[in-house]
């Protein structure tokens, strides 16, 4: 029975990071049109962290952690959320939600290269094809004149890439770091500390804060969805999967996220989907597929020896 429950949890967690995270690009795009980006992200993560702590108290889950675990949750919270997510929200002021999701879909490529550079892991021959396709797809995506000619779009593109590096390093970091064993506690500390860091960033950039009562009804509902599903449900699932499966498997969410984001952005925000973007998506996701499939085949071959 325990094995069935574990399988169900893994499948549910993958659904969360595939579909729910795919929709957060739309939700953040809607909210950032009205709210300052770091304020938005700060409120989202502080509220989510506090709600998780309350849930832990209700479920009688101990919140006590060691100093080392606290330090590591702060580092992970910064890499994943304060920088890795907060700056993406800021970049959405300048690029479409679907475009941002497509760029982020190159995350497995980034993780593969970082594993090679930082951990010395060998890249399989077929993965070289995946890397080449990934680079070609990214080039097609970001070289569109109608995109790069928009004010601030180039900076937005570069900052999203920086966020991908932050997420990539974070994925490798949490795979070996001493973190709270309970996934709710781990997520709660990462959310709350990242929210505090984003609050500091918001004050540093002198963003103008407002009360939720001053927000439009649409943004109020959007924030609730971001806090409950985009933060608590999806990020807890993400942390759970990083401990249960390999980082490159978790990164396969890049296959689904951009498709969900593109469809939602097109349907709700009337974002244009160009032929070049579609071609870039096909090439890029094919490259990601080569990377992950090759790694799986390599592991299977080693297991048979």
Concatenated DSSP letters of 44-72 = HHHHHHHHHHHHHHHTT------HHHHHH
Q: In the structure encoding, which two tokens stand for residue 197, read together?
A: 């860091």
Question: Is position 226 within any domain?
Answer: yes
User: H-helix or E-strand containing 263?
Assistant: helix 253-269
CA distance 295 to 305: 16
294 is a domain residue: yes
Q: If DSSP codes are grouped into helix, strand and coil, which group holds residue 246?
A: coil
Contact (CB, 8 A) for 79 and 170: yes
Which SS3 state, helix, strand or coil, does residue 11 take?
helix
Place of tokens 């080449």: 132
Apex 77 CA angle, 91 and 264, nearest 5: 40
Residue holding tokens 């702060």?
74
| Mean pLDDT value across residues 163-190 | 92
Give Cβ neighbours of residue 49 (< 8 Å, ≥ 6 apart): 188, 189, 190, 191, 192, 193, 194, 195
Q: Is residue 181 part of a domain?
A: yes
Residues 6+ apart with CB under 8 A from 85: 41, 163, 194
More confident residue, 34 or 126: 34
Q: What's the CA gap between 25 and 101, in Å, rounded?
A: 7
Q: Please state the rounded mean pLDDT for residues 128-142.
A: 90
For the ranges 84-93, 168-177, 216-225, the lowest mean pLDDT is seen at: 168-177
pLDDT tens per residue, range 47-79? 999 999 999 999 999 999 999 999 999 999 999
91 — pLDDT class (breaks 50, 70, 90) = very high
Give the closest residue to 287 by CA, choosing from 141, 95, 78, 93.
141
Q: Is residue 124 part of a domain?
A: yes
Total domains in the fold of the chain = 1
Q: pTM score, two decimals?
A: 0.85
CA 56/CA 69 separation, integer angstroms = 17
Q: Which domain holds residue 50?
A: 7-304
Residue 32 lies in a domain: yes
Whether 184 is in a domain gets the answer yes
């Amino acid at each position: 029975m325990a094995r069935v429950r574990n399988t169900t949890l893994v499948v549910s967690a993958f659904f969360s990071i595939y579909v729910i995270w795919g929709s957060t690009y739309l939700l953040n795009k809607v909210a950032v049109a009205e709210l300052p980006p770091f304020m938005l992200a700060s409120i989202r993560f502080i509220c989510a962290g506090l709600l998780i702590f309350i849930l832990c108290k209700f479920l009688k889950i101990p919140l006590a952690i060691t100093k080392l675990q606290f330090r590591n949750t702060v580092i992970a919270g910064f890499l994943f959320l304060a920088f890795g997510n907060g700056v993406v929200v800021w970049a959405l002021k300048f690029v479409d939600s679907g475009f941002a999701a497509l760029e982020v879909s190159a995350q497995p490529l980034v993780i593969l290269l970082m594993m090679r550079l930082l951990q010395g892991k060998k890249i399989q021959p077929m993965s070289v094809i995946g890397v080449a396709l990934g680079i070609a797809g990214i080039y097609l995506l970001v070289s569109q004149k109608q995109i790069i000619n928009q004010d601030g779009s180039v900076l937005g593109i570069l900052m999203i890439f920086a966020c991908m590096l932050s997420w990539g390093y974070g994925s490798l970091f949490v795979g070996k770091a001493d973190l709270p064993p309970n996934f709710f506690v781990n997520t709660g500390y990462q959310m709350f500390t990242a929210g505090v860091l984003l609050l500091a960033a918001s004050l540093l950039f002198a963003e103008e804060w407002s009360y939720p009562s001053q927000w439009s009804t649409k943004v109020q509902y959007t924030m609730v969805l971001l806090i409950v599903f985009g933060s608590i449900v999806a990020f807890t699932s993400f942390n759970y999967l990083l401990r249960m499966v390999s980082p490159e498997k978790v990164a396969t969410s890049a296959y689904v996220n951009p498709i969900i984001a593109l469809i939602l952005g097109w349907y709700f925000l009337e974002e244009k989907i160009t032929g070049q973007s579609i071609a870039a998506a096909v090439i890029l996701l094919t490259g990601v597929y080569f990377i992950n499939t090759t790694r799986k085949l390599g592991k299977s071959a080693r297991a048979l020896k």
